[in-house]
Chains A and B, each alone.
Chain A
């Protein structure tokens, strides 16, 4: 496998369910991101992990819980979501160096529907 892979591609969950989104990058990068993209809205940065440390939590509700066990894997744990959380969830990775970031590469996204 190459690049950034996300699973599942599609997810339908009830408001009382608990589910997790998975992201894996095979690029040797040291930073990983979760973005949310709602219909006809721009990308919203949710979380940033740099060198496996969470360095940003962009006022995201606690019903979203990220986990980065190592530099290649990133999870987004979901519980008691609301219908307005339905969106495309995108994972990305990049290489952070002294002078800044290299290009970020995105996974194909998880289309989440909360019913």
Chain B
């Protein structure tokens, strides 16, 4: 089992719709979870962090965490073509030392 798993996509949604991106992880004791956005040829940029169960909202973005199910998701409301990018899920893991492990990313395409 991969440490952090994401569907590679592409996930295609029309402009104005809600995009739902999912991520599962293997380490039950992980405490820190992050979502990054990466445009083609650019470096990843942090868009959300979440540390406790439930929802966390920031503008059009909502991160959802369910530690019992080892599941974290990102919802993007009112999707815009400019949201088209690869979204990376990152999970902090303790493997004798703390490190951030990234999923393979989900490519999102928002059509006008």
C-alpha gap A77/B77 in the complex (Å):
43
Query: Could you tell me if B99 and A101 are in contact, using CB atoms closer than 8 angstroms?
Result: yes
Q: Residue B104 contacts which of A42, A48, A88 (CB distance < 8 angstroms)? A: A42
Q: Residues of B contacting A96 with CB < 8 Å? A: 97-98
Q: Which stretch (B13-21, B29-37, B56-64, B65-73) binds chain A?
A: B29-37
A34 close to B (CB within 8 Å): no
A35 to B49, CA, bound (A): 20
Q: Is the CB of A94 within 8 A of B100?
A: yes
| A contact residues around B97 at 8 Å (CB) | 48, 50, 55-56, 96
Binding site for B on A (CB under 8 A): 31, 33, 35, 42-43, 45, 48, 50, 55-56, 88, 90, 92, 94, 96-97, 99-109
Q: Residues on B close to A: CB < 8 A?
A: 30-32, 34, 41-46, 49, 88, 90, 92, 94, 96-105
